[in-house]
Amino acid sequence: MTGPSPEHRRPPGTDDATVEALGKVSEALETVEAARGHLYAFHRLCGTADLTLGEGVELLREAGHLEQADRLDTELVGRNILDGRWSFQVVEEYDDTYYGPFKQLETDLREALVEGKRHLLEAEMKEDRRSAGHPHHTAVPGEERG
């Protein structure tokens, strides 16, 4: 086989402008995916900080610093990071309010315009950048490397 696999070939009649526009929408979704990853990292860091703080509070108590331990325990351990929210609630709200709808709309757009095919712009870019006959520039896995 030469060229992209069938799932990465534009359907007949699909113009360059459509492929370019879908490429930009996909690029935006990839950025949203990265932001979501950072948000999950933030969630994990907030949880780790709270658990570590709890350990520090217990160590302060064991060291006899009851007043300071009680203040930290009351003021910070388990505190909301935003009004009424722990980090898991921020993640859930982001997923429900922005990430989920964005992902669904991008899928709906691809279904309507290019039979649901993904990464058409990148597949064509790969094809343009391949060096013919080079063993590390094959179009698809397992392709003959002649």
* Per-residue pLDDT tens over the stretch 104-120: 999 999 999 999 999 99
93: left (phi over 0), alpha (psi -120 to 50) or beta: alpha
Q: Kindly indicate the confidence band of residue 62, based on its pLDDT and cuts at 50, 70 and 90.
A: very high
Average pLDDT over residues 11-36: 97
pLDDT computed for residue 143 by the predictor? 76
**Residue 65, domain member (yes or no):** yes
134, pLDDT greater than 90: no
Average pLDDT over residues 116-134: 89
**Residue 9, domain member (yes or no):** no
pLDDT computed for residue 29 by the predictor? 98
Average pLDDT over residues 5-21: 94
Tell the burial category of 24 from Cβ atoms under 10 Å away from its Cβ (0-12, 13-18, 19+).
Answer: exposed
**Residue 130, domain member (yes or no):** no
Q: Kindly indicate the confidence band of residue 138, based on its pLDDT and cuts at 50, 70 and 90.
A: confident
pLDDT computed for residue 1 by the predictor? 55
Whole domain around residue 39: which residue ranges? Answer: 14-115
**Residue 137, domain member (yes or no):** no
| C-alpha–C-alpha distance, residues 25 and 110, integer Å | 10
**Residue 77, domain member (yes or no):** yes
Tell me 133's DSSP state.
T
Instruction: Read off the tokens for 93.
Output: 């709200």
146, pLDDT greater than 60: no
What contacts 94, CB < 8 A, 6 or more positions away? 36, 39
Q: Kindly indicate the confidence band of residue 5, based on its pLDDT and cuts at 50, 70 and 90.
A: confident
Tell the burial category of 10 from Cβ atoms under 10 Å away from its Cβ (0-12, 13-18, 19+).
Answer: buried
The total domain count for the chain is 1
pLDDT computed for residue 145 by the predictor? 55
**Residue 126, domain member (yes or no):** no
Average pLDDT over residues 69-81: 98
